[in-house]
Amino acid sequence: MALFTLENLYFKSRNQEIIRGVNLEIEKGSVVGLTGKSGGGKSTLLKLIAGILVPSSGKVLYEGVDIQSMNNIKNKEFRRKCAFVFQDSALWANQDIQQNLNLPLQTHNPDMTYSQRLERIHEICSIVKYDRSLQLRPADLSMGEQKRIAFARALINNPEVLFLDECTESLDRKGVEVIMSLLNSFVNEGKTVIYVSHSSVFITSLAGKVLVIEEGQLSE
Ligand SMILES: Nc1ncnc2c1ncn2[C@@H]1O[C@H](COP(=O)(O)OP(=O)(O)O)[C@@H](O)[C@H]1O
Ligand SMILES: [Mg+2]
Reported as a single tens digit per residue, the pLDDT across 181-209 is 999 999 999 999 999 998 877 788 887 89
- Whether the predicted pLDDT of 87 surpasses 80: yes
Nearest ligand 1 atom to the CA of 46 is 17
Q: Relative to the alpha carbon of 17, which ligand is closest? A: 1
Percent of the chain with pLDDT over 90: 86
pLDDT of residue 220: 66
CATH superfamily of 4-219: P-loop containing nucleotide triphosphate hydrolases (3.40.50.300)
- Residue 19: CA atoms inside 13 Å, Cβ hemisphere, count? 27
Q: Relative to the alpha carbon of 52, which ligand is closest? A: 1
Q: In whole angstroms, what separates CA 121 from the centre of its chain?
A: 19
- What's the 113 CA to ligand 2 centre distance in angstroms? 38
Residue nearest atom 3 of ligand 1, based on CA coordinates? 13
- What's the 53 CA to ligand 1 centre distance in angstroms? 12
Identify whether the C-beta of residue 183 lies closer than 8 Å to the C-beta of residue 206: yes
- Whether the predicted pLDDT of 102 surpasses 80: yes
pLDDT band at 119 (very low <50, low <70, confident <90, very high): very high
Percent of the chain with pLDDT over 70: 100
Residue nearest atom 27 of ligand 1, based on CA coordinates? 39
- What's the 51 CA to ligand 2 centre distance in angstroms? 16
Nearest ligand 1 atom to the CA of 38 is 23
- What's the 35 CA to ligand 2 centre distance in angstroms? 9
Task: Please give the Cα distance from 68 to 75 (Å, whole number).
Answer: 9
For a pocket test of ligand 1, which of 34, 44, 217 has the largest count of ligand atoms closer than 8 A to its C-beta? 44
pLDDT of residue 156: 97
pLDDT band at 124 (very low <50, low <70, confident <90, very high): very high
Instruction: List, for residues 137-176, the tens digit of each pLDDT value.
Output: 999 999 999 999 999 999 999 999 999 999 888 788 888 8
Angle at alpha carbon of residue 142, lines to 107 and 109, rounded to 5°: 10
pLDDT band at 41 (very low <50, low <70, confident <90, very high): very high
- Contact residues of ligand 1, CB 6 A cut-off: 13-14, 16, 18, 38-44
Do strands 57-62 and 4-13 pair parallel, antiparallel, or not at all (unpaired)? Answer: antiparallel
pLDDT of residue 154: 97
Q: Relative to the alpha carbon of 18, which ligand is closest? A: 1
Instruction: List, for residues 203-217, the tens digit of each pLDDT value.
Output: 888 878 999 999 999
- Whether the predicted pLDDT of 55 surpasses 70: yes
